[in-house]
Amino acid sequence: MRLNSLGQQWPVRGAMPRDETSQPFFLIVTDHDRGVFAVEGPMTDDRPWNDAAASARNHDHRVVCGPAGADRDELAAEYRQTNKLAGVPPGSILRPRIAAGPPWPTAAS
């Protein structure tokens, strides 16, 4: 069983965790405060996204990462149907960055 960044179970089918493959994958990022999700990627390492989600949670934002999968459209359709959430464009929830500043979009972004 795989868990997302809040310790919640998520589907393993099609999941591509970074330690099991170097093939690019897509990652769902969910903002439970707004009731939306975004499909980010392709990527081969989800650590920047998980770090950004942890930082957002430290600032009272209910943001989680996962599940992940190889097919963007299939991943989005299954997640939308299962969780009844609206999709938003990539980068709308989190923007991992090296520079200082919050990892979530702000009015100035």
The total number of structural domains that make up the chain = 1
Residue 107 belongs to some domain of the structure: no
Give the integer Cα–Cα distance in Å for 75 and 61.
23
pTM above 0.85, yes or no: no
pLDDT in tens, 62-80: 999 999 999 999 999 999 9
In which band, very low, low, confident or very high, does the pLDDT at 97 lie, cut at 50, 70 and 90? confident
Tell me if 16 sits within 8 A of 65, measured CB to CB: no
**Looking at 8-17, 51-60, 71-80, 93-102, which range is the least confident one?**
8-17
Q: Taking the mean position of all CA atoms in its chain, how far away is CA 94? A: 8
SS3 87: strand
Residue 100 belongs to some domain of the structure: no
Longest dimension (CA), the chain: 39
Residue 103 belongs to some domain of the structure: no
In which band, very low, low, confident or very high, does the pLDDT at 12 lie, cut at 50, 70 and 90? very low
Domain that includes residue 79, residue range:
2-87
Residue 93 belongs to some domain of the structure: no
